[in-house]
Amino acid sequence: VGCVMGWTPIPGMVLRESPFPNRLLRGLYSLGQHLLFPSYWATDCLLDLKETTAERRQRQCCPRCPLRALVTGPLLLLLLILSMPVALLGLLLWLPLQAARRPFAYKHNMLSRQPAGWELPGTGQAFSFVSANVCLLPNGLAKNSNLGQIKQRVARIGQHLTQGEASASFAGPRSHQFDGEGGAGPGEISAPFPPDVDFMCLQEVFDQRAGARLCQLLSPFYEHIVYDVGAYGLQGCCTLKVLNSGLFLASRYPVLAAQYRCYPNGIREDALSAKGLLSVQVQLGSAQGQRIVGYLNCTHLHAPIRCDQLTMGLSWVQLFQDTHAQHGDVVAFDVFCGDFNFDNCSSGGLEQTHDIFRQYQDPCRVGPRQDQPWAIGTCLAVSTPEKLKRTLEQEEGRRTYLAGPILRDGRPDPSAAGSPWEGRRIDYILYREHPAPISLTTEVEKFSFITQLAGCLDHLAVGLRLLLNPAPQ
């Protein structure tokens, strides 16, 4: 079940960048988008009239601010009405072209600085992953998360995602034990992003212009980028999709194959977005004439129907890997990450005992409803203030700024009131080992809760660094 859409390059062939096989279809698709844009822009601007907390405070200082809605609202509504015939023409062009569109765009930018290919047998190798929900929706929809100003936020996000190496040079040690905890672990609260992140997996890059801008900002640092992921219109899905999946993946290593699948059971506010699973196979090096490969699976689950989607996701991952594996492949890592929209601390969560936690390892988890003492939540209750890193190292700060455990109906969980407050951890990076001709041992070197994007997101980014070594013979 679900929309199965992907493309695999023939050996020696570079993955085609455009989602369309020729210029004619690409041009017609672009024309359809331009015809739809005036209505899209007017709708977004109307929704953008809703105020964020910061805008409400500004209005209190500037009495003339309410005039903006009174004057621009009717003008935008008039533009929307006048643009509808043009939008209908664009829709008639845009919808059928989805059948010819591959469900992602790919950018390949040749860089002078490329990671050295890993060869086995030999020394070990470390790989670094980051996952973040960046809330890059159209401005009007982002206001529901108390965020807006997408142009400014995407510029700040792109800048911070690529500053890890410079920040690390003066940041010093960044691992901290929290109040009342015993025993240090691999967890840390980090202000900057880790240096030399190999794989960047993002969610909620829904706005196409923001996705293109983010791709432009990251391409000087990541040679391979998969973006604008998702099936639009009625192509392969049960309902009309006007937003893509929001998934975005940047890799320093070559992409061998990529596949996207759409969850078929989206409901409520998620029904119009093509949320799904992006699976990618990358080449890391060679071992005795065989490939060393890695698998990355990035997703964003629907809040009410997560168990079914996790089950579908596991079966899709296995099908993708069975399809693209070659005899003798050495699988260095297999990572499953993203915004799962559930935590391991709230009571009554069926997802906490899902089979995914038997197949994959969660470095932050001890068992159902029990996390490692160094793990903290990633779901922020409000837009974060300055110096969030220092604040989250204290339990009182976590109680103030991290959303707490909830019941199945979404109400706060009263049983968690007196327990150590770690917050709701809904952003995950899981991994598993594969048997291979050359066995590898996997060690979690570091797991990071990253505060660099404070003020830009309503989530904390998370990072994982895996150290892989050939197992002793």
What are the domain boundaries of the chain? 23-97, 102-470
Domain 102-470, CATH homologous superfamily name and number? Endonuclease/exonuclease/phosphatase (3.60.10.10)
Inter-residue contact 136 to 150 (CB < 8 Å):
yes
Q: What are phi and psi of 27, to 5 degrees?
A: -70, -40
Q: What residues act catalytically?
A: 459
Q: Cβ–Cβ contacts within 10 Å for residue 401, how many? A: 20
**Token representation of residue 304:** 């009410």
What is the pairing mode between strands 199-203 and 125-133?
parallel
In whole angstroms, what is the distance from residue 287 CA to residue 294 CA? 13
144's CB contacts (< 8 A; 6+ apart) are none
**Token representation of residue 146:** 């108390």
306 half-sphere exposure, CB direction, 13 A CA radius: 21
Q: What is the pLDDT of residue 257?
A: 93
399 alpha-carbon distance from chain centroid: 25
Q: What is the pLDDT along the chain (473 residues), one digit of tens a residue?
A: 445 454 444 344 457 888 999 999 999 999 999 999 999 999 888 888 876 655 665 555 555 555 566 778 888 899 999 999 999 999 999 999 998 999 999 999 887 677 777 777 777 889 999 999 999 988 878 777 777 788 888 999 988 888 765 544 333 333 343 433 544 678 888 878 888 899 999 999 999 999 999 999 999 999 999 999 998 887 766 678 888 999 999 999 999 999 999 988 777 777 788 899 999 999 998 888 889 999 999 999 987 778 888 999 999 999 999 999 998 888 999 999 999 988 888 776 788 888 999 999 999 999 988 889 888 888 775 544 445 666 666 666 666 556 666 555 555 565 555 556 567 888 999 999 988 777 788 999 999 999 888 778 888 899 999 999 887 76
In whole angstroms, what is the distance from residue 368 CA to residue 470 CA? 32
In whole angstroms, what is the distance from residue 26 CA to residue 20 CA? 6
pTM for this entry = 0.85
